[in-house]
Amino acid sequence: MKLNKRSVAHYALSDAPADHTGFLRTWGGPGTPPTPSGTGRRCWFVLKGNLLFSFESPEGRAPLSLVVLEGCTVELAEAPVPEEFAFAIRFDAPGVRPHLLAADGQAAQEAWVKALSRASFGYMRLVVRELESQLQDARQSLALHRSTPWKVNASHRKPQAPDRSSPAWENGHFLPRDHSPGCFMRDVGSRPAGRDLAEWELQGPASLLLSRGQSPVSPETSCFSTLHNWYGQEIMELRQRWQQRVQGSQPEHEQQDRP
Amino acid sequence: MRYNEKELRALSRQPAEMAAELGMRGPKKGSVVKRRLVKLVVNFLFYFRTDEAEPLGALLLERCRVSQEEPSAFSISFLEDPERKYHFECCGQEQCQAWVEALRRASYEYMRKSLIFYRNEIQKMTGKDPLEQFGISEEARFQLTGTPVDGWSCIGSRLDALD
């Protein structure tokens, strides 16, 4: 079976955050007997997401091996020699030998077992979904408690619609300017009529969405990219206003013009 | 680099986020479009011959760029070599857009960023760290800098200041 090994190796060496690293003894690999024996081989292990890489050393420029951590459980284990700090990655797939590993001490063993147990994509997805719904709850209760708008000195604001040529906000990926249906970006082009500018800007994206009868959280994780875009725009507007303020007398003028 | 192929094959049989028969063309010059069953499972894109149960290959979707090439065609390339593209042909614009969206969100790194974003937002609004209740607030994977908690430096990672 083919795998984009070169890209995988680049990912292993990239500055994408490592979730855990350290020296471990490993059994298994080419030339080793089917039943683990002896003291094993000491390698430098790097856990990134659901991928466990091993290297010759921390300075290694090419990974020796990769273990994809899906469909597995991690548990403490007996090592072939009286090595007290062993653990095994056991796979659900039939006919697959567990990967036996051993740490240098108890603290390291526990830390590795914990880190590897939480490495699966599914676990991360669960946590993200949980936080997504918590955020929705927090925003809904905040919107409900906001009976009066939070008025702030609006004298520095220019009463004009901001430039809506939003950047292709990069989040490690390119985002298209033409957003998919269900994304609220198209609605943000015009301010809601009859609302105080300050109030609108300070309520944030979620309450704006709620006021339009839309849920800020979609069943998919597209919420994050739309919110990311929204904040990107907000920052652009803030930057614009700051620049105008810095430019001097113009805000003074606006103060007189505003009703 | 050795990898656990048996387990990866088993993963290819798991329920997929997206699966469809698409036209697929490899990155090599002169490669032709072939019909493949393409299946997205976690952060891997598997591709099969349409009549076979075992995958021909897999693409790990970390640090990849998904580009819409034409209304009903997209490509996947990787950050270290953006011109080397895997091309996919869909049967229509809607299918193409659905795949592009799904693939862009399919990486572990994307999920990590989403999580950090939500965590910060909740913290700002409620003053509480939502991960504390799970006892995982100190886990390296949920930190912005991603430096491991045990203090070891890791290959290529930013050596941001630790406490």
pLDDT in tens, A98-110: 899 999 999 999 9
| Most trustworthy range by pLDDT among A2-11, A82-91, A151-160, A187-196 | A2-11
Mean pLDDT of chain B: 87
CB atoms within 10 A of CB B137: 13
With 60 as the cut, is the pLDDT of residue A258 above it? no
**pLDDT at position B136:** 79
Q: Is the dihedral of CA A130, A135, A138, A143 positive or negative?
A: negative
The pTM (predicted TM-score) of the whole model is: 0.69
Q: How many percent of chain A have pLDDT more than 70?
A: 51
pLDDT, tens digit (0-9, with 9 covering 90-100), for B52-81: 999 999 999 999 999 999 999 999 999 999
Name the residue of chain A whose CA is nearest to B12's CA. Answer: A70
Flag whether pLDDT at B121 surpasses 80: yes
Question: What token pair was written down for A243?
Answer: 């620049």
- Are B111 and A64 in contact (CB < 8 Å)? no
In this structure, which CATH number among 3.20.20.10, 2.30.29.30, 1.10.1040.10, 3.30.300.30 belongs to the domain B5-107+150-155?
2.30.29.30
CATH topology of domain A5-122: PH-domain like (2.30.29)
Query: pLDDT > 90: what percent of chain B?
Result: 74
The shortest CB-CB distance from A16 to any of B4, B62, B134 is to: B62
Lowest mean pLDDT, pick from A15-19, B21-25, B62-66: A15-19
Q: What DSSP line would sit under B53-75, residue for residue? A: SS-SEEEE-TTEEEEEEETTEEE
Rounded (10°) angle between helices A197-211 and A222-246: 170
Cβ neighbours of B6 in A, within 8 Å: 91, 93, 95-96
Nearest to B122 among A68, A138, A220 (CB): A138
Provide the β-strand partners of residue A3: B58
